[in-house]
A and B are shown apart, each in its own frame.
Chain A
Amino acid sequence: GQNIDQPTEMTATEGAIVQINCTYQTSGFNGLFWYQQHAGEAPTFLSYNVLDGLEEKGRFSSFLSRSKGYSYLLLKELQMKDSASYLCAVNALNYQLIWGAGTKLIIKP
């Protein structure tokens, strides 16, 4: 079967750094996405990795290792507004998106 695993919940302190991991097993791989979703709202696109390595975009970075079926999202200089759920999704066989359950990130002052 296909599955994507993420931690259910994480807590971090304002101003700190947090790493959210995602492991996947899918039929086919055409890229991995990270989305941010605030409670009751739609997901918004953060990053897309299709090749191994680190992609940096401001305070957010995303890493991919295809051989390990592993990705992480790194958030630096955490702000209270970063409190949200972070969804990992894989573009799998036939370009269908397989979604993880999301990681709820709680930021404390």
Chain B
Amino acid sequence: DGGITQSPKYLFRKEGQNVTLSCEQNLNHDAMYWYRQDPGQGLRLIYYSQIVNDFQKGDIAEGYSVSREKKESFPLTVTSAQKNPTAFYLCASSLDRGPEAFFGQGTRLTVV
């Protein structure tokens, strides 16, 4: 079955530690995205990538980093520079400029 997989679903980390969230897709989509969702707010774009080895900052990229070494994979690292990292993180993919984005199940990150 084709789809987009995020892992883990729940993640706990101590303040000051970097943490990497996984996102894998087997839909052969060119574009991949990372969003952050906080209660009562819409999805906010962190980073996106339209092609392998290329990615662009979104609206709230500070404190985050990504890589796109393979078409299937777009991991997100939440660094210690992110001031308020506790949130629900969603990865999505789409055909390049395609109308529909497919989402992973999300990762709820809690920093204590």
Total inter-chain residue pairs, C-beta < 8 Å: 47
Docked Cα-Cα span, A43 to B104, in Å, equals 9
Q: Does B2 contact A (CB under 8 A)?
A: no
Choose from B48, B88, B99 the contact partner of A91 (Cβ within 8 Å): B99
Give the contact stretch, choosing among A62-70, A76-84, A96-104: A96-104
Which one of B11-19, B37-45, B70-78 contacts A?
B37-45
By a beta-carbon cutoff of 8 Å, the part of chain B in contact with chain A is: 33, 35, 40-45, 48, 88, 90, 97, 99-106, 108
Complex partner residue of B40 from A8, A45, A99, CB under 8 angstroms: A8
Whether B42 pairs with A41 at a CB distance below 8 angstroms is: no
Are the CB atoms of A33 and B105 closer together than 8 Å? no
Q: Which residues of A contact B40 (CB under 8 A)?
A: 8, 101
A76 to B43 CA separation, bound complex (whole angstroms): 26
The smallest beta-carbon distance between B49 and chain A, in angstroms, is: 13
With A and B bound together, what is the CA distance between A102 and B88 in angstroms?
A: 15
14 A–B contacts from the bound complex (CB under 8 Å): A4-B42, A40-B88, A42-B104, A43-B43, A44-B103, A45-B100, A45-B101, A45-B102, A87-B42, A87-B43, A89-B43, A96-B48, A99-B42, A99-B44
Cβ-defined partner of A95 (8 Å) among B41, B97, B105: B97
Residues of A within 8 A of B101 (CB): 45, 97
Residues on the B chain within 8 Å of A87, using CB: 42-43
In-complex Cβ contact of A48 among B44, B99, B104 (8 A)? B99
Bound complex: CA of A87 vs CA of B42, how far in Å? 8
